[in-house]
Amino acid sequence: MEGMAGQKSGLVWAVNIAAFLLVLLWTIPTLGLLVSSFRDRDQILTSGWWQSFSPQEATGFVRTGTGDDAVQQDGLYVIEGTVLEEGQTLIGWGTRAREPAAFEPGETAEIGDGWQVTVAEDGTYRMTSPTPFEMRRGERIFVTTGAPARLTTENYNRVLTAEGLGRAFMNTLTVTIPATVIPILIAAFAAYALAWMEFPGRALLTAAVVGLLVVPLQVALIPLLRLHNELGIGKGYLGIWLAHTGFGLPLAIYLLRNYMVGLPREVIESARVDGATEFQIFRRIILPLSFPALASFAIFQFLWVWNDLLVATVFLGNTREQLVMTGVLRELMGSKGGEWEVLATSAFISIAVPLVVFFAMQKYLVRGLLAGSVKGG
Amino acid sequence: MELFWLAVGTIAVGVFGCVAWFWGSNWILDRIYPPRGLNAGDNIRKANQIRPWLFLGPAILFLTAYLVYPIFDSLWRSVHNARGTDFVGPSNYAWLMGDGKFRESMRNNLVWLLVVPALSTLFGLLAAQLTDRLKWGNIGKSLIFMPMAISFVGAGVIWKFIYEYREPGENQIGLLNAIVQALGGDPQLWLTLIPWNNLFLMIVLVWIQTGFAMVILSAALRGIPEETIEAAILDGASPWQVFFKIKVPQIMGTIAVVWTTVTIVVLKVFDIVFVMTNGQWGTQVLANLMYDWMFRGTPDYGRGSAIAIVLMALVTPIMIWNIVNAQREVR
Amino acid sequence: MADLTLAGVAKSYGEVHVLKDINLDIASGEFIVFVGPSGCGKSTLLRMIAGLERISAGTLAIDGQRMNDIPPSQRGIAMVFQSYALYPHMTVRDNMAFALKIAGKSRAEVQEATDRAGRMLQLTPYLDRLPKALSGGQRQRVAIGRAIVRDPKVYLFDEPLSNLDAALRVATRIEIAQLKAAMPDRTMIYVTHDQTEAMTLADRIVVLAGGGIAQVGAPLELYERPVNEFVAGFIGSPAMNLLPGRVTATGPLTTVQLDGGGIAQVAIPTRAGDEGMRVNLGVRPEDMRETDGPAIFEGTVDLTEALGEVTLLYFGTRGEGVPVIAKLPGIHPGLTGRVVRLTADPAALHLFHDGRSLLYRDGVELPPYQPRASAGMAMQPPA
């Protein structure tokens, strides 16, 4: 309706703004992960990712030394130390949690019992008392510190080498590619038979494929694991390839059949008049013409296998050598919940490949979705 | 590196195996019934009766072994004891009915079923309509669609950065708590906040599924005949009326498809709960409960399978609905 | 080079009988056109000849050899489809070469054949393009070229022009006629619902209706000697007017008293016993002319359509029945609302009883057909 007369510009603006907000809302979480993955490991713990480009102001506290650390100077008992870490600057300090920046650097605070604390600009503190310190735990000095924003690619180096994610990346790739290619081949033939060959039971088989689309694969885990054990496949790559092939087939057949049915009948008949056999028709006419549908399914299956956790956990095993990236992520979330930079970086590496595939082949993904929207998950 | 060769080898063997089967079996068939000569017609008819099964064979084998057989095997296990040695009748199901965790899972799944499809469809429709005629609409759509490509586990990590909690007064590093604190509220441990934590898990799935809903609904909106909209405008309908009285009724069928598709995803939801709360703090769902019984501690395949069968039963109505719809399309 | 025989051919899908008892002999080198209303089974018949549909009953023979069970590629036929059915992922050359490659022809042979077809159809500059880069007419020519390279004995065309616009349709029609002239010994079977194509292209037209053959004959024979009311109405546009009446005088010239009040002399012989018989008088709109004398039809003009070269007069458009239409050459302003009296040459009139023409009666030998020179034309050769 572009160019329609009398359109209100206010409405156009409202739509633009609303759409922008919606897009922002949907993008921010991923953006947060991306930014976080480049942050310094200390800064990530003390400030939100949205603050990563401004100097880092952080509050915390430092405990002073205890009575054992005190030395006698000029009749006073003195404890000295620093409240700052490498690279930090002191913005303010205090002695109570409520007021972490009550004092300027260089000022002196009275704590009571004649105790005095001075924190200098360089972060060194000096606590003095006329009587010996007798506390077993140090006093808390609350500090507000500043540090220059620091973005780094260190995390990526570290995660890819030391944390074993490189290995997991290879594992994932090893699982994904055969598990994407093999079902396509099997499904393409089956789809052609369902779409263009006459045989008894065709409608029934097609209905069965539609029905199998929604079977929760949780149902299949234990029976298949036992089946694999009995066949001697056990846990390993072969098992997971077969499993993903089986689970991916209904969607593959459904998508391809729907696409092939839509190919013009006359083209196929023409090939028949030209003397092509069924196999030649399939290979030289149907397969090339079905490329968009093949691409659609390939993307689906790729994303699904790459992102899968359940099937990999069950069929591949959980040793360090066998973990796929989703498995590593899961472990990290459990065991290294505190190491945010590792988590963020690993997560981003694991979603990077799907995102690249997604943006590069979005057209086919959308087309496939539209053709196969009966399927879920 | 040997892994790489293993992968390449598998692809080669798999692809070669498939091609060898299809090509070879067809070749043999054409040898047995050559499509020329005196009996050409007869031969072709016979060959054409056999050929579909050559094309379908591997697919049928896989579908049977990996989807059909497991359903029946699970059914069998669900009426047997933990190790599958003794028949126990419906006692696993009876136990389920009395189990607090199962009831919690059912209740949670039900709430998921109500909330996620509704919100996904609603946001999807909103996104589709809003971005439809904008110059930058396609970029916007891409960005909203993007979470579709992200694994549930990855999404879990992403949303950890939103829901993270720090003591009050500290610098909040979770976006949600930072906002709450900036507005003067108290930061919360969102993921342990019963019962609202369920909602925070659902939001993750809504975030992922909205793009799907948007893509489908956007195509449906575009499929509406432009003339009906122009006629409504000439009849004096406001943009709201055009949307709710002209557009939405015409895409009701698509909305139903989106709704059921998301419903199936929801029924099977596992990873999000598994990695974010693992079913603690009142967030258990069926798929995760089943995983617990099958793979944690001492496995009880009987109970696990019973839960699997319950899941299967829940998706069955949608399965039937899909089949009926697909059949109607064929005609 | 190839004659084709259909004997008792029938087609049914389960209980639905689409075609029944089709008997037809097609001589080598003939151009045969199947016409008929949509759903009459003409395309099905063509597809049965091609081998794309199984023949339910009867025999199809090409050159005396039974073909019922022979696959399409071995029947020596080539087919041009309505939608062209070009392979969208192959270039023009590959499209034309496909059948030859399948047949295992050598590279040089394939090259030679496609080059020749390209030259013949003026497609040489486009040989390396994909079909989507061609215009509709070019695609049509590729489809024909694909048939030509196989050098079949029988060409089958399934409504090949119906996807083209009007101007292109005329041009391509002429090209097909020239193609046929260049290959006099090749048999061509052509399906269309367009009677202009049928009339201009065919040696013989086969009119199909209701699952059977209504009439077979040369184009003008069908026009001038339609066997029944269906053929009479189907060939010619606007359709022949059918005026109900009763035979009042018999003999070499038959007199018919029309229910509408007119009287007509018809150059069709009747027997004495025919007096009083109910008949429908068939008169083509273009055979009608104004008269001051005795009229076949007299009525008030409801509507005129002035096309320039002719003027169409409509009578009785407001009533229940079928309107009567007359087609007068030239321009006739101001006729609407006036009463007009119309007559026609007795030799141009038709008589139908129970839907069948009285020309084709049992026991009557019809003289071989000779085209009748139009009475209205000024170009009659001097006697």
- For B71-81, how does the pLDDT look when each residue is reduced to its tens digit (9 = 90+)? 888 888 888 87
Tell me the pLDDT band of C155, cut-offs 50, 70 and 90: very high
pLDDT of residue B290: 85
| Consecutive H or E run containing B301 | helix B301-330
pLDDT: which is higher, A132 or B61: B61
- CATH code of the domain covering residue B138: 1.10.3720.10
Query: Does the pLDDT value for residue B241 go beyond 80?
Result: yes
Tell me the pLDDT band of A7, cut-offs 50, 70 and 90: low
pLDDT of residue C108: 92
Which of A181-185, B38-42, B146-150, C86-90 shows the lowest mean pLDDT across its residues? B38-42
Indicate whether B184 belongs to any domain: no
- Contacts of residue C71 in chain B, CB cutoff 8 Å? 35-36, 40-41, 44
Highest mean pLDDT among B15-24, C196-205, C329-338: C196-205
Residues B201 and B274 both lie in one domain = yes
Min Cα separation B289/chain C (Å): 51
Residues B70 and B119 both lie in one domain = no
Stretch B306-319: mean pLDDT, rounded?
A: 85
pLDDT of residue A6: 61
Residues B104 and B205 both lie in one domain = yes
| Mutation for testing the B interface, residue in C70, C73, C75, C102 having most B CBs under 10 Å | C70
Task: Answer whether B44 sits within 8 Å of C71, measured CB to CB.
Answer: yes
Residues B58 and B197 both lie in one domain = no
Contacts of A199 (CB under 8 A, 6+ apart): A193, B49, B52, B53
Full domain range(s) for residue B324: 96-158+190-330
pLDDT of residue C240: 92
Mean pLDDT rounded to a whole number for chain B: 82
Indicate whether B82 belongs to any domain: no
The span from the CA of C62 to the CA of C64, in Å, is: 5
Stretch A369-373: mean pLDDT, rounded?
A: 67
pLDDT of residue C33: 94
| Mutation for testing the A interface, residue in B69, B83, B163, B173 having most A CBs under 10 Å | B173
Closest Cα in chain C to B35? C71
- Residue pLDDT, tens place only, C203-241: 999 999 888 899 999 999 999 889 999 999 888 888 899
Is the Cβ of C71 closer than 8 Å to some Cβ of chain B? yes
Which of A279-283, A300-304, B232-236, C5-9 shows the lowest mean pLDDT across its residues? B232-236
Domain finish residue from B42, B77, B112: B77
pLDDT of residue C378: 46
pLDDT of residue B76: 85
Helix (H, G, I), strand (E, B) or coil at B40: helix
Chains that touch A (3 or more CB pairs under 8 A): B, C
Task: Identify which of C258, C270, C249 has the alpha carbon closest to the alpha carbon of residue C299.
Answer: C258
Domain finish residue from B49, B77, B105: B77
The span from the CA of A344 to the CA of A333, in Å, is: 10
Query: Does the pLDDT value for residue B317 go beyond 60?
Result: yes
Query: Does the pLDDT value for residue A256 go beyond 70?
Result: yes
pLDDT of residue A375: 37
The span from the CA of A40 to the CA of A101, in Å, is: 24
Task: Answer whether A277 sits within 8 Å of B26, measured CB to CB.
Answer: yes
Residues B34 and B154 both lie in one domain = no
Domain finish residue from B14, B42, B77: B77
Indicate whether B183 belongs to any domain: no
- Residue pLDDT, tens place only, A91-120: 778 777 777 777 878 788 777 777 788 888
Of A173, A250, A359, the CB nearest to B7: A173
Of B18, B158, B271, the CB nearest to A29: B158
- Residue pLDDT, tens place only, A151-175: 777 777 777 776 677 778 888 888 8
The span from the CA of C342 to the CA of C288, in Å, is: 6
Indicate whether B180 belongs to any domain: no
Query: Does the pLDDT value for residue B201 go beyond 90?
Result: no
- Contacts of residue B45 in chain C, CB cutoff 8 Å? 69
- Contacts of residue C70 in chain B, CB cutoff 8 Å? 40-41
Residues B216 and B322 both lie in one domain = yes
Stretch C80-94: mean pLDDT, rounded?
A: 88
Stretch C247-256: mean pLDDT, rounded?
A: 88
Which residue shows structure tokens 């007795």? C346
- Residue pLDDT, tens place only, B165-179: 777 766 777 888 778
Residues B221 and B144 both lie in one domain = yes
Sheet holding C187-191, edge to edge: C77-80, C154-158, C187-191, C31-35, C204-209, C212-217
The span from the CA of A307 to the CA of A302, in Å, is: 8
Mean pLDDT rounded to a whole number for chain A: 80
- Contacts of residue B34 in chain C, CB cutoff 8 Å? none
Residues B139 and B68 both lie in one domain = no
- Contacts of residue B171 in chain A, CB cutoff 8 Å? 46-48, 57-59
Going along chain C from its start, the domains and CATH numbers come out as 4-231 (3.40.50.300), 238-356 (2.40.50.140)
Size of interface A-B (CB pairs under 8 A): 355
ipTM metric:
0.84
User: How many CA atoms within 13 Å lie on the side-chain side of B28?
Assistant: 7
Query: Does the pLDDT value for residue C364 go beyond 80?
Result: no
The span from the CA of A346 to the CA of A328, in Å, is: 8
pLDDT of residue B224: 83
pLDDT of residue C23: 92
Report domain A157-371's class.
Answer: mainly alpha
Residues B57 and B143 both lie in one domain = no
Closest Cα in chain B to A2? B133
What's the structural domain count of chain B? 2
Stretch B221-244: mean pLDDT, rounded?
A: 81
pLDDT of residue C34: 93
The span from the CA of C312 to the CA of C342, in Å, is: 13
- Contacts of residue B40 in chain C, CB cutoff 8 Å? 69-71, 74
Indicate whether B279 belongs to any domain: yes
Sheet holding C289-290, edge to edge: C289-290, C339-343, C297-306, C310-315, C324-329
Task: Answer whether B41 sits within 8 Å of C74, measured CB to CB.
Answer: no
Closest Cα in chain C to B38? C70
- Contacts of residue C74 in chain B, CB cutoff 8 Å? 36, 40
Indicate whether B181 belongs to any domain: no
Indicate whether B64 belongs to any domain: yes
Closest Cα in chain C to A270? C85
Indicate whether B40 belongs to any domain: yes
Task: Answer whether A273 sits within 8 Å of C78, measured CB to CB.
Answer: yes
pLDDT: which is higher, A87 or B77: B77
Assess contact for A357 and A303: CB atoms under 8 A: yes
What are C376's strand-pairing partners?
A: none
Task: Answer whether B44 sits within 8 Å of C68, measured CB to CB.
Answer: no
Chains that touch C (3 or more CB pairs under 8 A): A, B
The span from the CA of B244 to the CA of B255, in Å, is: 13
Tell me the pLDDT band of C154, cut-offs 50, 70 and 90: very high
Taking each helix axis from N to C end, the angle separating C107-120 and C92-102, rounded to the nearest 10 degrees, works out to 140
The span from the CA of B226 to the CA of B246, in Å, is: 11
Residues B202 and B320 both lie in one domain = yes
Task: Answer whether C71 sits within 8 Å of B42, measured CB to CB.
Answer: no
pLDDT of residue B331: 53
Query: Does the pLDDT value for residue A339 go beyond 50?
Result: yes
**DSSP characters for C28-84?**
TT-EEEEE-STTSSHHHHHHHHHTSS---EEEEEETTEE-TTS-GGGTTEEEE-TT-
Residues B24 and B127 both lie in one domain = no
pLDDT of residue A374: 42
Residues B230 and B147 both lie in one domain = yes
- Residue pLDDT, tens place only, A232-247: 777 778 888 888 988 8
Stretch B206-225: mean pLDDT, rounded?
A: 86
Size of interface A-C (CB pairs under 8 A): 58
pLDDT of residue C377: 47
In chain A, domain spans: 57-147, 157-371
Task: Answer whether A369 sits within 8 Å of B159, measured CB to CB.
Answer: no
Strand bridging mode A108-112 / A71-73: unpaired
Task: Answer whether A275 sits within 8 Å of C85, measured CB to CB.
Answer: no
Please give the share of chain C, as a percent, with pLDDT higher than 70: 96
Highest mean pLDDT among A83-92, A297-306, B4-13, B252-261: A297-306
